[in-house]
């Protein structure tokens, strides 16, 4: 049986550079990059949003994608493939739930925190929105601000328990 692959979990606020860092990791060493935003855009990007309760609509789809992405990641790890994972875990309780799931499945996780000042992230997101690159998650300015406000940086306790590495 092949040795289990390594799991690299990227965390950080919107526009911090997580995808760019993942691409660099995958260029240095073969790995499967699984990115929630790309899945959401490809699966639901063209779907009409409801006039009301858009967050409930989004969260339901996000959670289904996260479950499928985790299933694929776990299979790849079992086959000896390294995985770079970005699941949009902005809240500490979401990260703790993921850490517990990984631990329950005996997966070692290397957690990488990617961050940048808010003004730098705002400019990056605006440029990305204009890029026209395929499968790009468009983040309107108002949503950028909401998502930035929702980001909960890891506490010192979370950092020490999980050996979070600043990138």
Q: Whole-angstrom Cα distance, residue 37 to residue 28?
A: 22
3-state secondary structure of 47: coil
Dihedral sign, Cα of residue 154, residue 157, residue 159, residue 163 = negative
Q: Whole-angstrom Cα distance, residue 49 to residue 29?
A: 38
- pLDDT at residue 138 in the model: 85
In tens, the pLDDT along 86-113 reads 999 999 999 999 999 999 999 989 999 9
* Domain spans in the chain, listed from the N-terminal domain onward: 7-166
- pLDDT at residue 4 in the model: 93
Determine the distance from the C-alpha atom of residue 44 to the mean position of all C-alpha atoms in its chain, rounded to a whole number. Answer: 17
Determine the distance from the C-alpha atom of residue 17 to the mean position of all C-alpha atoms in its chain, rounded to a whole number. Answer: 11
Q: Are 95 and 11 in contact (CB under 8 A)?
A: yes
**pTM of the full predicted structure?**
0.92
- pLDDT at residue 1 in the model: 61
Mean pLDDT for 4-32 is: 96
Query: Which of 13-27, 51-65, 84-98, 144-158 is predicted least confidently?
Result: 51-65
Share of the chain above pLDDT 70, in %: 99
Dihedral sign, Cα of residue 133, residue 138, residue 19, residue 4 = negative
Give the Å distances, CA to CA, from 105 to 4, 5, 38, 101.
12, 13, 25, 6
Q: What CATH number should be reported for the domain whose range is 7-166?
A: 3.40.50.300
Tokens found for residue 165: 């590495």
Mean pLDDT for 136-165 is: 93
């Amino acid at each position: 049986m092949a040795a289990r692959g390594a799991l690299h979990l990227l965390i950080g606020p919107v526009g911090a550079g997580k995808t760019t860092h993942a691409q660099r990791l995958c260029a240095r060493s073969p790995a499967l990059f699984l990115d929630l935003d790309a899945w959401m855009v490809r699966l639901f990007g063209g779907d009409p949003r409801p006039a009301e309760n858009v967050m409930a609509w989004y969260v339901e789809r996000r959670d289904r994608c996260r479950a499928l992405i985790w299933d694929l990641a776990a299979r790849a790890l079992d086959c000896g493939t390294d995985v770079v994972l970005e699941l949009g875990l902005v809240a500490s309780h979401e990260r703790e739930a993921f850490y517990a799931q990984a631990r329950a499945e005996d997966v070692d996780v290397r957690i990488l925190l990617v961050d940048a000042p808010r003004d730098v992230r705002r400019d990056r997101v605006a440029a990305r929105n204009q890029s026209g690159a395929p499968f790009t998650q468009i983040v309107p300015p108002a949503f950028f601000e909401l998502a930035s406000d929702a980001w909960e940086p890891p506490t010192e306790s979370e950092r020490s328990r999980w050996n979070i590495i600043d990138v």
